[in-house]
Amino acid sequence: MITSCAFEFEEYLQVVQSFHGYAAPGVIIGGFMVNLGKGHLSEKTPFRAICETTVCLPDAIQLLTRCTIGNNRLKILNFGRFALSLYDQNRGNGFRVFLDPKRIDEWSEIKCWFFKLKPKAEQNMELLMAQIKKAGETLCDIHPVQVRPGLLKKEERGEIVICPCCHEAYPAEERGVCRGCQGESPYTVTVLPERHVEASET
């Protein structure tokens, strides 16, 4: 029986559906990739993850390891490659797993999906999922890697201060005002809370 880590295949589909919103092929294949990588590490190795794409794969890593965006154990370096690395958080040695285009070649519907050879509406989802389930980790290749020392350093978070502009807390190292107030805000209209309006009027 092919499984994605701790889950049976069908169970993993449900977990993905619940977290990711739907059983996306990339998260399903990602399950096999995480599984393959974890299998190469000693069970006791405290590890972290690098993901080389923002698409789908980060969710497989977050669901099947203790590496998440919010706990800083998962780093996304968006090279647009469907690849991930799991590595010893102290020594930096680990394994990189990637989806191998040559191995995909044998699977018609996976190839169509991955290389976007047909519009989404014309893809056969049932066949695609059947092929993914059958192919499993044979779609991937794995090789050892050594992560650069700079990436292993623990990020020290410095002093927290109040931004004189928005009155929110931000890292002092930014100096002056926070980055949001430096013009990088994603919002066109920001209605400040009444409290702030009052504060500026006094």
CB of 1 to a copy of itself, least distance (A): 24
Binding segment toward a copy of itself, per CB under 8 A, in 7-15, 32-40, 119-127, 190-198: 190-198
The alpha carbon of residue 95 and the mean position of all alpha carbons in its chain are separated, in whole angstroms, by 16
Name the residue among 14, 117, 95, 112 with its Cα closest to residue 50.
95
Instruction: Report helix, strand or coil for 25.
Output: helix
**How many angstroms separate the CA atoms of 50 and 59, rounded?**
12
Give yes or no for residue 189 binding a copy of itself (CB under 8 A).
yes
**How many angstroms separate the CA atoms of 11 and 20, rounded?**
14
Question: Binding string to a copy of itself for residues 104 to 143, with x set by CB under 8 A, is what?
Answer: ----------xxx------------------------xxx
Closer of 8 and 115 to a copy of itself (Cβ):
115
Count Cβ atoms below 10 Å from residue 184 Cβ, excluding itself. Answer: 8
Name the residue among 102, 48, 101, 103 with its Cα closest to residue 77.
48
CB of 50 to a copy of itself, least distance (A): 6
Closer of 1 and 193 to a copy of itself (Cβ):
193
Query: What part of residues 24-83 is at the interface with a copy of itself (CB under 8 A)?
Result: 24, 26-27, 50, 52, 54-60, 62, 66, 68-73, 75-83
